[in-house]
Chain A
Amino acid sequence: MGNFKLTTVEEFEAATNRLLETGAKVGADAWQLRVKNQTPHCKFGEQGVCCRICSMGPCRITPKAPRGICGCDVHGIVARNYLKFTAGGSATHSDHGREICHTLYCSSPDGAYKVKDPEKLMKIAKEWGVETEGKDIYDLAHEVAVLGLEEYGKVFGTQRFLKRAPKHTQEIWEREEIAPRAIDREVSCSLHMTHMGCSSLPEALIRQSLRSGLSDGWGGSMAGTEFSDVLFGTPKPIDTEANLGVMEVENVNIVVHGHDPSLSEMICEYADDPEMIAYAKSKGAKGITVSGVCCTSNEVAMRRGIPMAGNFLQQENVVLTGACEAIVVDVQCIFPALGPLSKCFHTKFITTSPIAQMPDSEFIRFNAETAAENAKAIVKAAIDNFENRKPDLVYIPDMKQKATVGYSLEAIVKTLDGVTNSQVDELGTTKPLIECITSGVIRGAVAMVGCNNPKIRPDSAHIELMKKLIANDVIIVASGCSAQAAAKAGLMDKQAKDLCGAGLKRVCELADIPPVLHMGSCVDISRMMNLVAELAKDSGLNISQLPVVGCAPEWMSEKAVSIGNYVVATGIDTYLGVDPYVSGSDKVAELLTSGIRDWVEAAYTVEKDIDKLGDAMMARIEEKRAALGI
């Protein structure tokens, strides 16, 4: 008690500015400069009224030119762009999930990848109707992995994980014809629909956006999460640290960046190897520090307590410290700028995936079959690079916060078991949380997710909203770069309870949790879907009745839009702090912010004033409470 203090956005920025000075010295480019070069942005693009899907165009819609050459009106163009955007995100998460399924298929008792959580595998197998009796666990893993892979291209039927949703939700999906079929099919169907001369009816395009999103959330992402847990262990509460200060000046610093834990887990494994540590010492370092950026960081933080160096817009800062021997990346959200930037330092920028190849990088092709030797080569390359460090360029901001992470659904349920009374309560349910909500001790829950975006002062929206919500007794589950913003600020330190209202504070004390619960990476938003499904089943309410909303205040990527679509389609109102490119069509904007409520019982709210965004979320939560009489 006493000396706990949040790190402020001002302090983040001061550290960044200091690093940018180093960058200026070596002539490095930075996103802050590139944003200036790109501003102001093209209005047609911003409003979504520019169409480039055939070579008759590009067309753009203006009052003088209300239709494209094919005759498509602004609503069709905006909705098509929106669907393409969604499909991109859906494809991305889903391919990640596919890689994990494939890794599971490659698991073996004496190989690089093992089944670390056989219990979870058995649970999924039973859920999917696979006979488990008397089967070798690896035979079962391979069988389930094949079934998982088939979900991507199944010929008939819809996604298996949909059965996890409450019955009411499943009925909505059936009724509205948005229950996702094969994952790849929904992506492909979306691209078909957005081809020239196919769909231009906004309702049809937005409906497919929801279905494509659902194929991600309840398909690809869920597979990614579930099978990552099977392979690498289901996360449990674990202590770690966050922000750039986790890098250690005397150690070989390896930064893992990207998304797929198949790579980062192996790197961590070898960085822990006594042989490698001895090798690092022979090169003059004290040891090896692995830290993470973005979602792969969330993955290894959740499971191993690997510290989190930073989130999306901090990825260049990692290199700017001058103390990064290697930044090892796989796929998604990796700035191509890292290539040229690393050339200004001794840093090795190592790309590993054929999916994400970049100029000015060293490509060490990583695959599940040869993972061990690949990982070892990468760690060794980083160690070998330690002696190339330029000491006069080294500056690591002395800035980090403690964080307790690892709140998978399983861990949350176990934590809730801790506040039950064995004389009256049953174990293994979300009922204690429901009781906290229905009694009013906690007003509701907000799922804070999403990226950073230079359009918003980085991390400020995440942190300010979280502070405001927890002070009003709203509990937060977070993932992705939002979770990392919270961790960097200190909101995942258990001492942050003192920033909460009396209700949430009491809950944090009794359950021994921080007020912001880290549920993992962006694919782990599927954990949140499972959580609301359980809450709905345990409370007997529909998901849309729960005083729960989703929020992506600084979203940036196509993945975020796909996520938004499946969150809304699951019945959870979603709040955005950045405008999706739909303002050019009042019809599409109306559909997204209100019309789809008739289909899926939830809709979007877009509000660029972050303070108002917070108020709107709390008002919605209170509205839902009032409707339930709680």
Chain B
Amino acid sequence: MTLFERVFNGNDAVYGLTEAAIDNAIAQHGADKAVSFPNTAYSLPCYYGVTGTKVGNLGDLKNALGVVKTLMTRENRLNDAFMSGVATALCAEFIEVLKYIDGAAPYAEPCYGHLADAIIRELGVPLVTGDIPGVAVILGSAPTAEEGVALVKSYQAQGILVTLVGGIIDQCEEMGYKTGANVRVIPLGKDVTSVIHVVSVAVRAALIFGNITPGDAAGLMKYTFERVPAFVNAFGPLDDVVVACGAGAIALGFPVITNETENIFRVPKSLIVQEDVSKFNATSLEARDIKIKITNIDIPVAFASAFEGEIIRRG
């Protein structure tokens, strides 16, 4: 199967789920039922960023899905794959927002789910100053928990903001590794769709700091490509849905580094196969052109600005 076919399949699968979920929600609550993420002024930030349209209720959401469908063209061109990737991301946002109906709190410790505007504003300044030199999105389960945690730790020590999706969250818990916004390791959620909450960060960064007009999709993608130093580490096995999400990430300018070797195509600077997880860090930083000067202080504990907000509890 070609890479584009995998993207299209993944997109179709997510679209199908989204459509069913929205129809279900409408059947249950009616089309006038309000939908929103908590603590944001940007409605559904990704959809708003790409289309400039705010979504208020389930009826709007259904209409929005119609717009998303128009992005799902099926020519064998990268533009189509990119747009299908974006469409997949938007579907994920729709699925996620449904979880918040009626002020529900779908995410529990340690997962964050949707991130509030306040967190983005707080992280935005260090991102711009380079104090946070990059954003890592780690997705799936590392071959072993040790390797997974070592990878997270390596980024954290470089001051990179780390977001976690899926099995890696359990692996951190299993190893008793401390996570949280205060130490800049943010578990988002266990479903793959929760990856949208970090995309939402990039999009809102473009709207807040980049002064991108909502709806200027090209400007948005250019901004994220040039200014948001994010990258994705996706552990194999990768299903088509993850590949479709990856296309969305690449469309925004974020390279994907994976240890998957089956049915995968390599794309220079964009989709890189690195079988050795211990080299994910170096591979990712080079792929995203992130240069970090680190003075290694030989001390028995980790040292980085990421630990500045760490809380030391009694006992």
Chain A residues in the interface with B (C-beta under 8 A): 416, 419-425, 432, 435-436, 438-441, 443, 472-473, 501-503, 506, 510, 622, 625, 629-630
Contacts and interface: CB of A to CB of B under 8 A. Distances in A.
B257 to A, nearest CB: 9
Contacts of A443: 76-77
A439 B79 contact: no
Given A421-B269, A421-B286, A439-B266, A502 B274 contact: no
Contacts of A441: 78, 267, 270
Contacts of A422: 286
Nearest to A504: B78
B4 interface: yes
A503 B79 contact: yes
B155 to A, nearest CB: 15
A432 B77 CA distance: 18
A506 B282 CA distance: 23
A517 B282 CA distance: 32
Contact of B3 (A416, A439, A473, A501): A439
A506 B77 CA distance: 12
28 contacts: A419-B268, A420-B268, A421-B283, A421-B287, A423-B274, A423-B286, A424-B272, A424-B273, A424-B283, A432-B268, A435-B265, A438-B265, A439-B266, A439-B267, A440-B4, A440-B76, A440-B81, A440-B265, A441-B78, A441-B267, A441-B270, A443-B77, A473-B77, A501-B78, A502-B77, A502-B79, A502-B82, A630-B2
A419 B269 contact: yes
B142 to A, nearest CB: 17
Nearest to A432: B268
Given A438-B266, A630-B2, 8 more contacts: A419-B268, A423-B274, A423-B279, A423-B282, A435-B267, A435-B268, A439-B265, A510-B269
B272 A440 contact: no
B267 A436 contact: yes
B251 to A, nearest CB: 8
A432 B265 CA distance: 11
Nearest to B280: A423
Contacts of B1: 629
Contacts of A503: 77-79
Contacts of B282: 423
Chain A CB within 10 Å — which of B4, B265, B274, B282 has the most? B265
A535 to B, nearest CB: 15
A474 to B, nearest CB: 10
B137 interface: no
Contacts of B274: 421, 423-424
Contacts of A432: 268
A566 to B, nearest CB: 31
Given A436-B267, A440-B76, A421 B272 contact: yes
Contacts of B270: 441, 506, 510
B199 interface: no
Given A473-B77, A502-B77, A502-B79, A510 B268 contact: yes
Given A440-B78, A502-B77, A435 B266 contact: yes
Contacts of B279: 423-424
Q: Report whether over half of chain B's contact residues are helix, strand or loop; otherwise say mixed.
A: mixed
Which of B81, B267, B283: most chain A Cβ within 10 A?
B267
Interface in B1-40: 1-4
Nearest to A509: B225
Contacts of B286: 421-423
Nearest to B266: A435
Contacts of A423: 274, 279, 282-283, 286
B271 interface: yes
A436 B268 contact: yes
The residue in A422, A441, A503 that gathers the most chain B C-beta atoms within 10 A of its C-beta is A441
B7 to A, nearest CB: 9
Nearest to B226: A509
Contacts of B271: 439
A265 to B, nearest CB: 35
Given A421-B286, A423-B282, A440-B4, A506 B265 contact: no
Given A423-B282, A439-B265, A506 B2 contact: no
The 5 closest A-B pairs by CB, nearest first: A503-B78, A502-B79, A439-B265, A423-B283, A419-B268
Contacts of B81: 440
Nearest to B265: A439
Given A424-B273, A439-B271, A441-B267, A472 B77 contact: yes
A501 B73 CA distance: 14
A502 B283 contact: no
A502 B265 contact: no
A421 B269 CA distance: 7
B286 to A, nearest CB: 5
A186 B272 CA distance: 48
Interface in B237-273: 265-273
B108 to A, nearest CB: 37
B248 to A, nearest CB: 13
B263 to A, nearest CB: 11
A503 B78 CA distance: 5
Nearest to A422: B286
A501 B79 contact: yes
